[in-house]
Structure 1
Amino acid sequence: MTTATDTPDGTARQTPPGPEDAPPLFGPGSQFHALFDDPRWALAMIRATVLEAAHPRIGAALIDNSTFVAHPWRRLRNTFLSMRRMFGADPEEREREAARLNRLHARMSGTDTRGRPYDAVDPEARAWVVATLFESAVTMCRLSGRPLDPAATERMYAEYRAFLAALDGDARHLPEELRDFWRYFDRVVEEELENTEAARVILYRLFDHLPAPALLDGVPTLWAAGRAVVGPVMGAITIASLPEPFRRRAGLPEMPGVPTLMQGAYIAAGLARFLPGDLLRAEAVIDLLSLTPGSDDPRARTVAALRARMQRAAALLRLLTPLAPDPDPEDGPEPAAGDGRRRTAEDFFRQVLDQTGDGYLDWPDLAAMARELATRLDLGEPEETRLYDAFAGWWRELQSALDADGDGRVSAAEYAAAVPSLSGPALIRVAEVLFAATDKDGNGTIDADEYRALFRTAFRRDVTTGDGGYARSAFVGDFLSFMSGRRAGTAYDPLLADA
């Protein structure tokens, strides 16, 4: 955009725009804001995540610390919320979110299976994460038949460099000029990416074993049938969209016809822009998938009716499919979700304790619990540190009591064999610290707003006291009952057990 000014002789002269005329790097008017709710992002985010996971240091951090396998929908919701904050117009919110992300990543370090160290605050690795997001956004536009023009691409690249600068204090690990970025991206793809375990999990295991979101949790047969069809297709589409040099080096197969299918998927996702705007808001879609019929959200009534229809469809599907074998009587009855019955020890281990989904309980699992609780409550540094320290104390107590073979982690078999009472002093400390973090005003009870911040729903009838608050003793008792009694269908399930 140019502006007209008057010359001394009275003629008009065109001058280039100044910095004050440029579109904003953050908030409404930015390229990111225009594309954030685009349905094509669903495909682009999967592609970007695979490219991130293929970086050895990032892949090792994901395998050791991330909950994307066991709790993908929760991870998706938190990721979208974080990106919304980071690219929002409020600089204070952006600074606070950047500080939270930096604290979160500072707690993730270790070595991969080949003994190579990784650190989640490594600036080169973080630059690669931002690079994959930018390149996948450009690629999604190209594959859907609506490529970005050069000016829009330049502007988007400036936004992503500003995003990296907001995290790291500067963006020097991404090239300053866009033309140099493409050489940087190609070099990393060709020289550094590997067929890591994390990348294989995303491409093959994640889609094949993706747990149902809360919306579809009551219709496992219908979800499994749909997943069996969509999962392999999504994996094939993602592989076909990856850079050819990486596919070749990683030995990823490309089946005939899949490139055409991939193109069609991106074009179809792009056509969704003609749907009503409310249906395209990413957070609204994720919130809807997270709703349960027992929620106080007005949309829950629609969800309940939809689930009833899906349950009827699932019943019809069961009539058309072979019968499953009868359950072993020794296994006992299956606990029904939401009825308050006790989980089996194996279910509790898988749904609650094993947050990373690797089949073991160790520190990253408890750190993931602390991370989710701190994220929900938007804790500052002192409160967050106290919560992590409380969970670290609980881990030391668990390790001492349950790690029979001394390998530094607790297997499902070790846990099931012990069937311990987990409500020791360290877990009581966790409950007390969590209560204090939730009780923002420090008045000794959790009010309705504080309760919603933690549980994302209104008070349950069975946890309120006469004055309408949630007393400390009741909170601690309920938390210990959930963590040691292994009861399903409580207010605490959405915190740590939901997918």
Structure 2
Amino acid sequence: MAIIRATVLETAHPQIGAALMENSTFVAHPWRRLHNTFLSMQRMCGADDAVRAREAARLNRLHARLSGTDARDRPYDAMDPHVRAWVVATLFESAVTMFRLGGQPLDQDTMEGLYREFQEFLTAMGDEAGHLPATLQEFWGYYDRVVDEELENTEALRVILYKLFDHLPAPALLEDLPTVWAAGRAVAGPVIGAITVASLPESLRRRAGLPDFPGARTLTQGAYLVAGLARFLPDGWIKAEEVAGLLTLSPDSDDPRARAVGAVRDGVKRAGALIRLLTPIPDQREPAATPRPGRTAEEFFRTVLDQTGDGHVEWPDLAAMARELSLRLDLDEPEETRLYDAYAAWWKELQTALDRDGDGRVSAEEYAAAVPGLAGPALIRLADVLFDATDKDGDQSIDADEYRALFRTGFHRDPAHTGSAAYSRSAFVKEFLSFMTGRQRSRAYDPLLAQG
């Protein structure tokens, strides 16, 4: 809840809101975004200085690629030190609020120690500590000023509060239980939205015209109090990063947690089937559809190519793919740049072939009217670059560990049929091209690029 609240406060800043709407996958792939956020926080807040420095360098490279102008022609730049300071400020203030609403308010000394740690977080990113006030006492004046003078009712804020919660896609492990997920979301979505709104600063709620539902503040405090009771559970029972990782696991993963959740999911499905048998309702089920080897052009466009979920394919969509792959493989700067360059070349190839009206982007109609199976030299080159990045030991094959690093799923290679448990360059390139041109689904690439 604190992360959601901090995210809303971030998106209310016009520069951050514009950067998110133009470049982020938080609408189409929220679970992936959540998992990656926790992974980054783990690296930045861990005890290993080398890991922290490596992650800070990765974040700086990511932010350096995010700049442009918003709908009102105002510039945004993710490397703006004042903007980055606001992100850290929202995390600190939301943590303090979380403790307060959860019935365990921080004393002054603890709060000051926590504030120093967040200042160090900013310093680790290479920014001057002075972009945040030097003392905690000065921080509250800075925080109130930004809320009162700089935050707006941005499009990104409205999307989170009024669209994302109501249309949140099911996590990978629950995708085959759409009715159960939709029923739970119909109840939980509005509640989460009301709790988040009620926890925001009053001046922001008033200026953004956010509704103040009767009893919402009481509900908010109650929700935080209930969540705060988790501190009485045994150590290790609930860890946010473990929950986030669980939600992004593929059903095909060989992770023991995936098998356990899969067993529960199968039990729910059997219970549902039993209820249908006992319920005297005429059977109106349609014949089971045979599995399709591929997707329709519209489905492939929506689930794979349109990573940002805005209805068009532009460079930020392909950059999002490069960003996800770079994070999965924990690439260094040279390899990461090579992968981004390969995606940039593929974008130029797509633009040339599919952008019929010359508006600099590809619509679903333009894609469907062209040849969905398009596989030009740039896409083939991209497959080769991705293979090289995945093949860490350079032996021209991908073993089980390298496979899991990329896909987070089981190593589905049958030596009886392939002749080798390794994954050769030709096999890798063939499967990647088949997936990226919409010719066939893939239980490896679907969780990587298609699922939320």
Same fold (TM over 0.5): yes
Q: Distance in 2 between matches of 1:334 and 1:59?
A: 43
> Which residue number in structure 2 is paired with residue 483 of structure 1?
436
CA offsets 1:147-189 (integer angstroms, 9 cap, x no match): 0010110000000000001113421110010000000000000
Instruction: Measure how far apart 1:274 and its partner are.
Output: 2.4
Deviations 1:53-76 (A, max 9, x none): 000000000000000010011111
For residues 444 and 13 of structure 2, the distance between their equivalents in structure 1, rounded to whole angstroms, comes to 38
Contact 2:297 2:372 in 1 (8 A): no
Q: Relative to 1, partners in 2 of residues 1:419 and 1:312: Cα closer, same or farther, differing over 3 Å?
A: farther
Structure 1 gap segments, 5+ residues each: 1-42, 328-332
Counting only pairs closer than 5 Å after superposition, residues 93-492 of structure 1 correspond to structure 2 as 93-312=51-270, 339=291, 341-461=293-413, 465-492=418-445
Q: CA–CA distance in 1 between the matches of 2:292 and 2:395? A: 30
User: Can you list the C-alpha shifts for 1:5-39, whole angstroms capped at 9, x where unaligned?
Assistant: xxxxxxxxxxxxxxxxxxxxxxxxxxxxxxxxxxx
Question: What do residues 277-335 of structure 1 show as CA deviations (whole Å, max 9, x unaligned)?
Answer: 33312222122222343221223332221111232455588899x99x999xxxxx997
Are the structure 2 counterparts of residues 198 and 326 from structure 1 closer, same or farther at C-alpha, using a change threshold of 3 Å?
Answer: farther
Quote the offset at 1:199 in angstroms. Answer: 0.4
Q: For residues 260 and 358 of structure 2, what CA distance do their matches in structure 1 show?
A: 50
Alpha-carbon shift at residue 462 of structure 1 (Å): 5.0
The match for 1:66 is 24
Look up the SS of the partner of 1:160 in the other structure: helix
Query: Equivalents in 2 of 1:367, 1:126: separation in Å?
Result: 21
User: Compared with structure 1, are the counterparts of its residues 112 and 131 closer, same or farther at alpha carbon in structure 2 (3 Å cutoff)?
Assistant: same
Alpha-carbon RMSD:
2.2
Amino acid in structure 2 at the alignment position of 1:400:
T
CA distance in 2, matches of 1:417, 1:229: 40
Structure 1 counterpart of 2:440, which letter?
A: R
Structure 1 Cα separation of the partners of residues 73 and 289 of structure 2: 42
User: For 1:47-104, what per-residue CA distance to the aligned partner results, in whole angstroms no more than 9, with x for missing partners?
Assistant: 0000000000000000000000100111111100100100111111100000000001
Conservation of the 8 A alpha-carbon contact between 1:203 and 1:235:
yes
For the residues of structure 2 that align with 1:296 and 1:154, how far apart are their CA atoms? Answer: 44
Q: 1:126–1:478: structure 2 CA closer, same or farther, 3 Å change rule?
A: same
Task: Tell me the matched-pair count.
Answer: 449
- Percent of aligned pairs with the same amino acid: 70
Q: Letter of the aligned partner of 1:375 in structure 2?
A: L
How far apart are the structure 2 equivalents of 1:452 and 1:432? 18
In structure 2, C-alpha distance between the alignment counterparts of 1:105 and 1:151, rounded to whole Å: 33
1:145 shift after superposition: 1.5
Q: 1:263 to 1:409 in 2, by over 3 A?
A: same
Instruction: Report if the CA contact (8 A) 2:122-2:129 is conserved.
Output: yes
TM-score after normalising by structure 1: 0.86
Kept in 1: contact 2:328–2:406 (CA 8 A): yes
User: For the Cα contact (< 8 Å) 1:164–1:170, is it kept in 2?
Assistant: yes
Residue pair 1:452, 1:458 contacting (<8 A) in 2 also: yes
Q: 1:443: how far off?
A: 1.3
1:490 counterpart letter in structure 2: R
1:335/1:343 contact within 8 Å kept: no
Distance 1:483 1:400 in 2: 17
CA contact (8 A) 2:321 2:449 kept: yes
Determine helix, strand or coil for the equivalent of 1:195.
Answer: coil
User: 8 Å contact 2:250–2:408 — kept in the other structure?
Assistant: no
Give deviations 1:475-499, integer Å, cap 9, x for gaps: 0011001111342243111110111
Q: 1:222–1:314: 8 Å Cα contact kept in structure 2?
A: no
Tell me: CA distance 1:289–1:415, structure 2 relative to 1, closer, same or farther (3 Å): same
The DSSP-based 3-state class of the residue aligned with 2:129 is coil
Q: 1:304 to 1:479 in 2, by over 3 A?
A: same
Counterpart position of 2:3 = 45
User: By how many angstroms is 1:416 displaced?
Assistant: 1.5
Write the distance in 2 (CA, Å) between the matches of 1:164 and 1:335: 53
Does the CA-based 8 Å contact 1:345-1:486 persist in structure 2? Answer: no
Amino acid corresponding to residue 446 of structure 1 in structure 2? I
Which residue of 2 is the match for residue 7 of structure 1? none
Within 2, Cα distance between the matches of 1:335 and 1:109? 45
Report the AA paired with residue 441 of structure 1: D
1:193-238 alpha-carbon deviations (Å, 9 max, x no partner): 0000000011110001100001211100110011011000100110
Cα distance between partner residues in 1 of 2:431 and 2:35:
26
* C-alpha contact (below 8 Å) 1:53/1:198 kept by paired residues: yes
Residue type of the alignment partner of 2:294: R
**Aligned counterpart, 1:27:** none
Partner AA of 1:122 in structure 2: D
Q: Is contact 2:346–2:379 with CA below 8 Å preserved after alignment? A: yes
In structure 2, distance between residues paired with 1:224 and 1:47: 23
Q: Does the residue aligned with 1:49 lie in a helix, a strand or coil?
A: helix
